[in-house]
């Protein structure tokens, strides 16, 4: 228990030290060459990146769920009346529909939570800064 409390104290002290540092110390340093585009990354622009990542994940989840839905339908039609194959295909279709519903619910829950707590949707979400 003593070791856990010491580790927690060290984590809090180092976290407080890192959070108290000003972010503007490296503002004048911009890498030359192909990494110069990194200077354009700002915390205010993170909302667009978060929106892009969430949208890509939603599209990927929908494509995978639709693939499994179609694959379950093909397996059902190719089962030839075998009850075990029909049951396996049915469970695949049900799992694909449940996955599709979960993907859309997750997207809508994230959108609702962001709009409720920050007053902004996914399109104009900005990460708060300590200034």
The string of pLDDT tens digits covering residues 73-90 is 999 999 988 899 999 999
Q: How far apart are CA 107 and CA 2, in angstroms?
A: 42
| Most confident residue range from 5-9, 12-16, 53-57, 101-105 | 101-105
Q: Is it the case that residue 22 has pLDDT exceeding 60?
A: no
Percent of the chain with pLDDT over 70: 66
Cβ pair 125, 50 in contact under 8 A = yes
Sorted by sequence, the CB contacts under 8 Å of residue 122 that are 6+ apart come out as 47, 50, 51, 54, 55, 110, 111, 114
Q: Rounded to 5 degrees, what are φ and ψ at 121?
A: -85, -165
Other beta carbons less than 10 A from residue 127's beta carbon: 13
* Confidence bin at 130 (pLDDT 50/70/90): low
| Helix (H), strand (E), coil (C) string for 71-109 | HHHHHHHCCCCCHHHHHHHHHHHHHHHHHHHHHHHHHHH
The string of pLDDT tens digits covering residues 90-113 is 999 999 999 999 999 988 888 788
Distances (CA, A) of 82 to 69, 76, 94, 109: 19, 9, 18, 40
Residue 107 in tokens: 């997207």
């Amino acid at each position: 228990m003593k070791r856990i409390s010491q580790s927690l104290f060290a984590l809090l002290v180092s976290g407080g030290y890192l959070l108290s540092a000003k972010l503007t110390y490296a503002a004048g340093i911009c890498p030359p060459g192909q990494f110069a585009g990194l200077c354009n990354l700002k915390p205010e622009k993170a909302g667009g990146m978060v929106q892009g990542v969430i949208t890509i994940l939603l599209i990927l989840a929908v494509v995978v769920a639709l693939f499994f839905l179609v694959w379950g339908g093909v397996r059902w039609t190719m089962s030839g009346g075998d009850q075990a194959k029909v049951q396996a295909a049915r469970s695949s279709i049900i799992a694909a529909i449940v996955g599709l519903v979960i993907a859309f619910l997750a997207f809508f829950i994230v959108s609702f939570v962001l709009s409720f707590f920050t007053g902004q949707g996914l399109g104009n979400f900005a990460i708060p800064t300590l200034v």
